[in-house]
Amino acid sequence: MTTRPTSAFLNTFVAAAALLVAGCGSKSEKEVASGTYTDPETGETAEYKVTSDDGEAGNVTIKTADGEVSFGGGAAHAKLPAGIAPYPGARMTGGLSSSGKDGNAGMASFEVKGKAADVIAHFRKQVEAQGMKVTSEITADQTMMFAAQKADDDKSGMQFTATQEGDQVRGSVTYGHRR
């Protein structure tokens, strides 16, 4: 599944990311910025809101006529796809999610004490139980990855990554579904 974001989305994303960085460093959960952004190329507008929490986690939400995207640090934005449970003991560290008329997508990052091979096996067992087929696997240095999709659905898929760092594993789950 390959999609190309529109320039309006890219411009909005860049502006929101800049606001996210500007919002970091606040000492309490609060709205740092909000308003409406107008794409200079298309004239399309998007609403945005940036919050900051104790200088550690900044969050951005962008709403357009086509849908919504949210991203930031912490568990609030680390949403796993339906039917996928986190590895036991994992701490969700951040992510993004988007939804619109064409489908939905997201990414959730995590960290956990353990072995990358065990984390990958945990997720693989879940996707196979859902009738999904592993379509690719890669192991490089300390990183293991695999991708999966349902046999009858070439518009949806999931990718799982786990990197060993000492006794810790840092990883992510990325997913998308096009209608």
Task: Determine the average pLDDT of the residues in 42-49.
Answer: 80
Q: If you classify domain 74-179 with CATH, what class do you get?
A: alpha beta
The pLDDT, as a whole number, for residue 100 is: 80
Looking at the chain, the whole-number percentage of residues with pLDDT higher than 70 is: 72
Q: Are 9 and 17 in contact (CB under 8 A)?
A: no
Tokens of 120: 């990958």
Is pTM beyond 0.85 here? no
Tokens of 130: 């859902």
The answer to whether residue 119 scores a pLDDT higher than 90 is yes
The answer to whether residue 137 scores a pLDDT higher than 70 is yes
The answer to whether residue 80 scores a pLDDT higher than 60 is yes
The pLDDT, as a whole number, for residue 103 is: 83
Task: Determine the average pLDDT of the residues in 15-43.
Answer: 59
- 92-109 pLDDT, tens digit each: 988 888 878 888 888 999
Backbone angles phi, psi at 34, to 5 degrees: -160, 160
Domain ranges of the chain: 1-73, 74-179
The answer to whether residue 154 scores a pLDDT higher than 90 is no
